[in-house]
Amino acid sequence: MVHMGNFWPAPHTDSPIRYEQAIPGSKSMTNRALVLAALADSPSTIFRPLRSRDTDLMAAALRSMGVGITDHGDASTTAPSGAVGDKTNTATAWKVQPGPLRGAELDCGLAGTVMRFIPVLAALADGPVRLDGDEQAYGRPLGPVLDALRQLGVDVEGDTLPCTITPSPTAPRGGEVTIDASGSSQFVSALLLAGARFPEGLTIHNSASSLPSLPHITMTLDMLRQAGVAAKMSADERSWTVHPGAIRGATWDIEPDLSNATPFLAAAAVTGGAVTVPGWPEHTTQPGAQFVSIAEEMGCQVELADGRLTVTGPAPGALRGVDRDFGDIGELTPTVAAMAALASTPSRLTGIAHLRGHETDRLAALVTEITRLGGKAEELPDGIAITPSPLSGGQWLSYADHRMATAGAIIGLRVPGVDVENIDTTGKTLPGFADMWEAMVRQGAHHQGVHRQDTVSDRD
C-alpha cells in the first residue's frame, strides 16, 4: 500500500472496469445477530459475520458484559442446511454463549449500532455500565434511547457519550415509551431488540413526523421473528410492539453487505464497465438492495441471475443524474453523490437531513469535498443538489467516515490525481477496502473478460 502522508492516491483508469468482487457480511445483520444471540435462551452460531471495527467493538462490548463469543471453524466452514439465509459460500463463524449480563466499561468507538444498542442491554445488567467512544462520537445523537430508558425507570447519567446506565434492582417492567426517532432508526431497533426480555414487553411510539431508514427497522423485526419473538409495526409505521418471551438461540448466516457492495458496482457505472457481486440475495431487508433501481435510473443495465448481480454502466458521458428521496436509504448517499458528480445531468438527493448526525455531517462533507475538486454542489435543507461540472485532482478529506472515503475512491476512478485522506477508515465496516479497490482497477481495467477477486483479510 502506497501512502502520501495520510493520503491514498486513488487509482485512476480511462478503461471500462470488468470485474467480479465478493463482499464480506452485512454489518447491520452481524451486530443485530450478536445482540439477539447475547439475549437468547441458548447458544447461537453466526456464520460469515463481518469482521470490522464496528462488529469487533460490538463483540468486545458483549464479552465485557459476560457473553461468550468465540471463533469457530475455518475457511472451510459452511452453514448447515436450514441456517437463516442459508448459502453455499464459505467463511468463519462466531459461537455465542449467552450469560447473565454484568456491569462493565465499554468502548463504542464511532459505531452507531454499539452506542445505541448496548444501553438497552445495560438496563438488564447486574451493575453499572459506562459507555465511552471516539471523541467524534460525542456529537452523534443518543438522547432518544437514553430518554426511553429513563421512562422505563432506569437511572441514566448523561445524554450523549460518555454516559452511564445503572440498572434498578429489578429489571425494567417494560410497557410504552415515546421517543423522537427522526434522528435515527437505530433508536427504535435498539429498544425492539431487547424488548422481549422485559416482563411486559415494549411498545415504542415515534413522536416525530419523520423516520429515516425504515428498512433497517424492517430488518430488526424480521430477525426478531426468526428468533421466535412476536414483534410488529403499526399500520401507520409510527409505533412498534415487541411481546415478552424467550429469544431463541439461532443459526444465522449473514448476507453480504449490500451497501458495501455499492462502491464496486458504482465503478461499473462511472467507467462504462461491468461489475458482478456474487451471493446477492433474491429477497432481503437490506436497504442497499435499492441501489439496483438507482443504477437503472442513472442509465445502467442490471441483471440478477443465480445469486449474481451484475451492473453494466452506460457509455462514457451517458450516466444520468438522479432526483430521488433517499430517506430510507441514506447510507447510499455518498456513493450516489460521487456518481452524480460524474454524471451528465443534475441530481437532487433529498429526505436525508438525518445524515448530519452520522459519522460526520455527511451533507456538509459531500458539498465541501465535491466543491474542493471543482464540482458544483449545494446543501439543501434535507439533502444535496449536484450539478455536473468538470472535476480536477486534489485532496479528498474523509472526516473519519468510511463512506466518505469510498466516495472519494469512486471519483478518483475518473478524475486523475485524487488523494483520499485516511483510506483505512474504511476498516469501520469493510477492512481491506483499499487492497480490494486497487486489485479491481489493476486487474479489471486492463484485461479482457471478468476477473474475480475474493475478499481480502483485515488490513488493520
- The answer to whether 255 is a known catalytic residue is no
51 carries a ligand binding annotation: no
**Choosing from 331, 359, 369, 421, which is the catalytic residue?**
331
Partners of residue 308 on adjacent β-strands = 278, 305
E-assigned strand segments in 193-335: 202-206, 231-233, 239-242, 251-253, 274-278, 301-305, 308-312, 323-325
186 carries a ligand binding annotation: yes
The whole-angstrom separation of Cα 225 and Cα 286 is 16
87 carries a ligand binding annotation: no
Report in angstroms the alpha-carbon separations of 290 from 215, 258, 318, 430.
10, 9, 21, 20
The DSSP-derived string for 32-54 is HHHHHHHTSSS-EEEES---SHH
Beta-carbon neighbour count of residue 394 at 10 Å?
13
Does residue 325 contact residue 347 with C-beta atoms inside 8 Å? no
- 3-state percent helix, strand, coil for the chain, nearest multiple of 5: 35, 20, 45
The whole-angstrom separation of Cα 445 and Cα 275 is 11
Does residue 429 contact residue 27 with C-beta atoms inside 8 Å? yes
Question: Residue 256, SS3?
Answer: strand
Amino acid letter, residue 425: T
362 carries a ligand binding annotation: yes
358 carries a ligand binding annotation: yes
157 carries a ligand binding annotation: no
207 carries a ligand binding annotation: no
Does residue 389 contact residue 367 with C-beta atoms inside 8 Å? no
Q: In which residue are the cell numbers 434535507 written?
A: 382
428 carries a ligand binding annotation: yes
The whole-angstrom separation of Cα 302 and Cα 280 is 12
184 carries a ligand binding annotation: yes
Start-to-end CA distance of the chain, whole Å, equals 12
Amino acid letter, residue 222: D
459 carries a ligand binding annotation: no
52 carries a ligand binding annotation: no
- Edge-first strand order for the sheet with 347-350 is 323-325, 347-350, 383-387, 376-380
Partners of residue 9 on adjacent β-strands = 419
372 carries a ligand binding annotation: no
Amino acid letter, residue 101: L
Report in angstroms the alpha-carbon separations of 240 from 146, 220, 252, 322, 420.
18, 11, 24, 33, 41
The DSSP-derived string for 308-328 is EEEEEPPSTT-----EEE-TT
140 carries a ligand binding annotation: yes
28 carries a ligand binding annotation: yes
| Positions at the binding site for phosphoenolpyruvate | 27, 112, 140, 186, 362, 403, 428
Residues carrying an active site annotation: 331
| Positions at the binding site for 3-phosphoshikimate | 27-28, 32, 184-186, 213, 331, 358
| Positions at the binding site | 27-28, 32, 112, 140, 184-186, 213, 331, 358, 362, 403, 428
